[in-house]
Amino acid sequence: MRGPHNIWRLVRTGATLERTGAMGVVLDAFRAPPHLRLVARVLGWPFAWLGYRGDPGLPPATRALQALGPAYIKFGQIMSTRPDVVGEELAAQLRVLQDKLPPFPVAEARRMVERELEMPVDRIFSEFSEPIAAASIAQVHRARLADTGEQVAVKVLRPRIEQAFRKDVDAFYLAARMVEILAPSARRLRPMEVIRHFEGVVLAELDLRLESSSAAEFAANTAKDEGFRVPQVHWFLSSKRVMTLGWATGIPAHDIAAIEAAGHDRKALGERVLRLFLQHALRDGFFHADMHHGNLKIAPNGDIVAMDFGIMGRLDEYTRRVYAEILYGFIRKDYRRVAEVHFEAGYVPADRDVDEFARALRSVGEPIFGMDASHISMGRLLNFLFEVTERFGMETRTELILLQRTMVVVEGVARSLYPQINIWNVAQPVVEDYIKDNIGPKALLRDLTRTVQVLGRFGPRLPQLAEAALLRQQEGIPAQQRPDPRQVAMYVGLGAAGMGGLILIAQAF
């Protein structure tokens, strides 16, 4: 679908950016060269009257994206997690982008549920409410199961939303290609890659089976976390376009007056939000990446209940260890070690000076540690850290950018619950526990055990693999110098047997 027919959509987009005053903001954020600014103005200004007016009370960029519709709203939200692409100022504007749209009729939602679950709604639910929340991709209804009487939340995709998103994504690809052609200097921002990332995130959100899977995995990981709860997924009442979860009863996390009136300990809640997020990121490598006030409730018993699992973050084990060592180094003010970790991980090119890098890191850490406890921010630290590492040639790592953005949001929630919270005092025991369990002799033995187990699985095939490899290599070797494949295979077989012994020894420990 990508092609000239998308030009009209781009003209309408440019007209809206021009009419709302967002054009200059966007061009500045992307550091557009003069000739690209000229093209954008020429295409936008004459057609400004075709643009959507939007809500004048919103900041320009937010106003424009809100007016352009669901795909643009979602694009803005995802770009708010990429300050490396759009810059800090625009990212901050996009973080307040409201994912709220008029609901579609309940009758249409009921038809969608019946079509997806292949049963009449009245047979499944004894109650099915009007929409209680409507976003760019789906809306939520409160319902009651007919057979058990349990209250549930039913999330239903908007009708024809897949086609609408596909059409706009095609226009985005055309825009990205035009940027690459007209502004070669902008290729450093990798516009086509940015759109591919956006497309992948959106396609995942348009399949509610994937969100159900994320909710179930998150619930399993956090089942033993005291004071935290994830609603249960009702798999037999969920499909690609419908998802059913247990109802989350509680006070919205932004309603501080109600939380206080209910007698909840705000200090404990603020510390728990932050501590749990760090545990999920470090311990599990799977964290809620949209953990703002609207996706958290405080249950009557004081539990924190998480909702909306469309955007989740994942860190592999190696990245978690690197991240933990970086945080631990900052906590101990060991800037040399933080620098070494960056070099060991390959985040910073090996030809750079480690001592110079450590000095730059000290310039990041010392001002923050000198602040009053209520102003110390781990999110600010990570932001400054990325600025420094970029100067030293570190390539963008999307998973760490998402982690940093989520850290900022979680800190905001924690401070709204308890403004005097000391971020480092809460973080230190979590990071230290992770370091103790995952970096050191015990972790090394565990890693060796896993490595040997993997190699051990190839044991029976090692002689054949070695013989085949040698035969392939022998064509260019004189006959008198060729090793005997049978002898080599015998040695390899003995080696495999030795690996099996190592496995037994490692498991004994």
Report how far residue 370's alpha carbon sits from residue 367's, in angstroms, rounded to the nearest whole number.
5
The total number of structural domains that make up the chain = 4
Q: Are 427 and 274 in contact (CB under 8 A)?
A: yes
Report the amino acid identity of residue 344.
E
CA of residue 373 relative to chain centroid, distance: 28
Pick 65 or 372 by higher pLDDT: 65
CA-CA distances (angstroms) from residue 260 to 23, 64, 302, 418? Answer: 43, 37, 11, 11
| Ramachandran category for residue 382: left, alpha or beta (phi over 0 → left; psi -120 to 50 → alpha) | alpha
Instruction: Write down the pLDDT at residue 6.
Output: 72
Judgement on whether residues 196 and 254 belong to the same structural domain of the protein: no
Indicate if 437 belongs to the active site: no
Instruction: Write down the pLDDT at residue 504.
Output: 45
> pLDDT tens-digit profile of 144-184?
999 999 999 999 999 988 888 888 888 888 878 877 777 66
Report the amino acid identity of residue 390.
E
* Catalytic residue chosen out of the listed positions 84, 170, 225, 290: 290
Indicate the burial class of 216 (C-beta count within 10 angstroms; 0-12, 13-18, 19 or more).
Answer: middle
Q: What is the DSSP pairing of strand 151-157 with strand 228-229?
A: unpaired
Locate tokens 């230190």: which residue? 428
Judgement on whether residues 230 and 144 belong to the same structural domain of the protein: yes
Judgement on whether residues 304 and 433 belong to the same structural domain of the protein: yes
Going by pLDDT thresholds of 50, 70 and 90, the confidence category of residue 279 is very high
Q: Are 106 and 139 in contact (CB under 8 A)?
A: no
Report how far residue 209's alpha carbon sits from residue 40's, in angstroms, rounded to the nearest whole number.
40
Indicate the burial class of 172 (C-beta count within 10 angstroms; 0-12, 13-18, 19 or more).
Answer: buried
Residue in 498, 408, 400 with CA at minimum distance from that of residue 456? 498
CA-CA distances (angstroms) from residue 119 to 105, 111, 180? Answer: 19, 10, 50
> Which contiguous run of DSSP H or E holds residue 143?
strand 138-145
Indicate the burial class of 472 (C-beta count within 10 angstroms; 0-12, 13-18, 19 or more).
Answer: exposed
CA-CA distances (angstroms) from residue 479 to 153, 469, 474, 476, 489? Answer: 74, 16, 8, 9, 18
Report the amino acid identity of residue 229.
R
Instruction: Write down the pLDDT at residue 184.
Output: 66
> Which contiguous run of DSSP H or E holds residue 299?
none
> pLDDT tens-digit profile of 183-213?
666 665 677 877 887 788 788 888 999 999 9
Residue in 455, 468, 466, 467 with CA at minimum distance from that of residue 496? 455
CA atoms within 13 A on the CB side of 483: 15
Tokens encoding 479:
């006959």
Task: Answer whether residue 296 shows pLDDT above 90.
Answer: yes
Report how far residue 212's alpha carbon sits from residue 281's, in angstroms, rounded to the nearest whole number.
20
Judgement on whether residues 148 and 259 belong to the same structural domain of the protein: no
Judgement on whether residues 328 and 365 belong to the same structural domain of the protein: yes
> pLDDT tens-digit profile of 460-509?
776 776 667 666 666 555 555 555 555 545 544 545 444 454 444 444 44
Report how far residue 128's alpha carbon sits from residue 116's, in angstroms, rounded to the nearest whole number.
16
Provide the residue range defining the domain that includes 11: 4-98+166-205
Tokens encoding 269:
């809640």
Judgement on whether residues 27 and 175 belong to the same structural domain of the protein: yes
Q: Are 310 and 205 in contact (CB under 8 A)?
A: yes
Report the amino acid identity of residue 44.
G
> pLDDT tens-digit profile of 113-126?
999 999 999 999 99
3-class DSSP state of 509: coil
Judgement on whether residues 262 and 316 belong to the same structural domain of the protein: yes
Residue in 265, 210, 282 with CA at minimum distance from that of residue 431? 282
Domain's final residue, options 205, 229, 264: 205
Judgement on whether residues 307 and 403 belong to the same structural domain of the protein: yes
Residue in 79, 106, 108, 109 with CA at minimum distance from that of residue 92? 79
Task: Answer whether residue 238 shows pLDDT above 90.
Answer: yes
Instruction: Write down the pLDDT at residue 243.
Output: 97
Instruction: Write down the pLDDT at residue 325.
Output: 87
Q: Secondary structure of 461-499 in the HEC alphabet? A: HHHHHHHHHHHHHHHHCCHHHCCCHHHHHHHHHHHHHHH
Judgement on whether residues 322 and 397 belong to the same structural domain of the protein: yes
Judgement on whether residues 315 and 433 belong to the same structural domain of the protein: yes
Highest mean pLDDT among 12-16, 191-195, 391-395: 12-16
Sign, CA torsion 424/427/433/437: negative
Judgement on whether residues 27 and 59 belong to the same structural domain of the protein: yes
Instruction: Write down the pLDDT at residue 244.
Output: 97
Instruction: Write down the pLDDT at residue 509.
Output: 44
Residue in 16, 398, 2 with CA at minimum distance from that of residue 175? 2
Going by pLDDT thresholds of 50, 70 and 90, the confidence category of residue 300 is very high
Give me the numbers of helices (H) and strands (E) for the chain, helices first please: 23, 10
Domain's final residue, options 439, 473, 497: 439
Sign, CA torsion 435/436/438/439: positive
Judgement on whether residues 318 and 391 belong to the same structural domain of the protein: yes
Instruction: Write down the pLDDT at residue 372.
Output: 60
Interhelix angle 485-508/462-473, rounded to 10 degrees, is 140
Pick 104 or 181 by higher pLDDT: 104
Report how far residue 306's alpha carbon sits from residue 296's, in angstroms, rounded to the nearest whole number.
5
Q: Which alpha helices (H) appear in 45-145, and where do they start and end?
A: 60-68, 70-79, 83-86, 88-94, 106-117, 121-124
DSSP 233: B
Domain's final residue, options 205, 228, 262: 205
